[in-house]
Structure 1
Amino acid sequence: MSSRGDLKVTIAGLEFFGRGLQAGTTPELVLKPRGFKGWTDGVDMRLDDSAIPNQHGSYDRQAYRSARVVSLDSYALTDSNAKLQQIGERVTGLLSGGELGRIEVVQNGETRWADCRLASKTKFEEIARDTAEVQVQVWCPDPRKFGDVWTYTATVGGGVVPGVRHFGNAEATPQFVVAGDMPGGYRLTFRGENFHVIWPLVSGQPHTIDYADGQLWVGGVRIHGGLGITNTPTLPGGVVTALGVVPLTTGTGTATLKLFDTYI
């Protein structure tokens, strides 16, 4: 895609601007035309292409997305060689410890983000006393991109909450916080599937459940043996569903669901 004036890309706090946007008085990183790649594309698929013996074709097995790689080619534009050196040191230090960072893209008033790591050697080549060419490439292990967050809350005795959805184009992963007093545990219902927690829910000690791993956490501690049936469906873009929470024995409480607009 072309670098456009309304584009800003931030990686672990370091800002890259499309032409026409100013970074103020600080040294600027200005994206080259067509210098931002891999973000608006889809991603490659991982396929198990195993041939069926003595037949045409291959076995039909689940395919999975590969990680996303995003590259930025830009100019560093400053008013002195000293400032150019400073921004060069900052660029080459970006995520250089192998740590997880975040890439955030703002364009046309919309914000999308993903977590990332440095994918390859960062390049910084001085081409004038106040100008350098910069290349940064990051690797997003989860190729999905995330936007606004939506919350829905179901209450024991309040029935199901309809109209649960997000506004992305890919499957969103539910995240729950369950609070209240249900000593015999409870059942979450989402997309018509059940998730049973048999660990007691105690007032003031909410439960946290992320369907990405299906684990139960209480007070920052992972609970072993506290779960029963654990169906963990995701929610595709455009699908509308319902949310409910019911105690397995007695009690009261709420289940708050968080969903991000999720894109590929």
Structure 2
Amino acid sequence: MANELVTLDGYPLTGATRDGVWKRLGEIEGWWDSPPPRRQRADRTNGDGSFSTPIEYGNRLITYEGRVISKNHDYLHQAAGILTALGHRGNSKFLVQGHGPTQWAMVDPRGPVKTSFETDSYLNFQIPLEAIDPFKYGESYTVAGSSSTPAALFHRGRVPAWPVVTVTGTSAGGYTLTLNGKSVVVTQALVSGSPHTIDFRTGILRAGGAVVRGGLSTANFSPVNPGLSQNMTITAGLFTAKYSDTYI
């Protein structure tokens, strides 16, 4: 694809760089597939089948194979050095552009980077990666609202997106956030200069960056569902909701 761009930790694995011309070989294994679904099966003792339990997903395993063609042997070894260092500490962004919506995931190394010097000017390589968060993400959004103005949340992904909400202002009695008819009631006092952050995926509340235990009396968390606009409201203070297009 002429407009394809694949990057790892910000470095392009396709196209021309100082060190050579990078090309993808074959498909990106594990990128277009769904990660393995998993669930705790609970058999019905006196009935057919099993009880319904939540479906979760295992880690996404990705293998990227490519080729580098350099103008000389020295530049080829520089490219090889870049390959072995890319993402070696983990928590690196792997991004794919040019095949529908741009998508990315945070990845860790899953095994050694393998390089094979075919000639003095080109090599083949393989990078095994693992995304412990199996979801892929796209465009990110920051939407603001207040007690007088609801925020309209929308995303173009294919599965629900979980927002991270930051609340500022002052309210000694706390406040209530509502999304899709589900309410999160915060009893922790909201103090000026000590914003609250609520991760709707994990349900963790932080005040001034510190985790707060027992600061919620009701915790009915809702995601932002794909493809339609949903209002988030708050009873006191100001808030911003951050989330991204989300895919599986």
User: What is the TM-score when the length of structure 2 is the normalising length?
Assistant: 0.91
Q: Residue 5 in 1 paired to residue 2 in 2?
A: yes
Helix, strand or coil at the partner of 1:202: coil
Q: 1:201 to 1:31 in 2, by over 3 A?
A: same
Helix, strand or coil at the partner of 2:63: strand
Q: CA deviation at 1:24?
A: 4.0
CA distance in 2 between partners of 1:241 and 1:215 (Å): 22
Q: 1:202 to 1:167 in 2, by over 3 A?
A: same
1:28 corresponding residue in structure 2: 21
Percent identity, aligned pairs only, is 27
Matches within 5 A, 1:146-225: 146-156=137-147, 158=148, 160-161=150-151, 163-225=152-214
> Paired residue for 2:96, among 93, 102, 105?
105
Q: Tell me, which stretches of 5 or more residues in structure 1 are unaligned? A: 248-252
Matches within 5 A, 1:31-110: 31-32=24-25, 34-53=26-45, 55-97=47-89, 99-107=90-98, 110=101
CA distance in 2 between partners of 1:11 and 1:24 (Å): 14
Amino acid at match of 2:246: T
Helix, strand or coil at the partner of 1:36: coil
2:230 corresponding residue in structure 1: 241
Q: 1:28 to 1:188 in 2, by over 3 A?
A: same
Q: CA deviation at 1:125?
A: 0.9
Q: Tell me, which stretches of 5 or more residues in structure 2 are unaligned? A: none
Amino acid at match of 1:85: H
Amino acid at match of 1:16: L
CA distance in 2 between partners of 1:179 and 1:258 (Å): 14
Q: CA deviation at 1:173?
A: 0.3
Amino acid at match of 1:209: I
Q: Which moved more, 1:128-137 or 1:226-235?
A: 226-235
CA distance in 2 between partners of 1:210 and 1:61 (Å): 23
CA distance in 2 between partners of 1:171 and 1:56 (Å): 31
CA distance in 1 between partners of 2:166 and 2:209 (Å): 12
CA distance in 2 between partners of 1:53 and 1:149 (Å): 46
Helix, strand or coil at the partner of 2:194: coil
CA distance in 1 between partners of 2:186 and 2:42 (Å): 39
Deviations 1:107-127 (A, max 9, x none): 157422111101122110111
Q: 1:223 to 1:57 in 2, by over 3 A?
A: closer
**RMSD across aligned C-alpha pairs, in angstroms?**
2.0
Count of equivalent residues: 248
Contact 1:35/1:74 (CA < 8 Å) preserved in 2? Answer: no
Q: Residue 15 in 1 paired to residue 30 in 2?
A: no
Deviations 1:133-168 (A, max 9, x none): 100111111111111122332212x1644x422111
Amino acid at match of 1:48: Q
Q: CA deviation at 1:239?
A: 4.2
Q: 1:96 to 1:24 in 2, by over 3 A?
A: closer
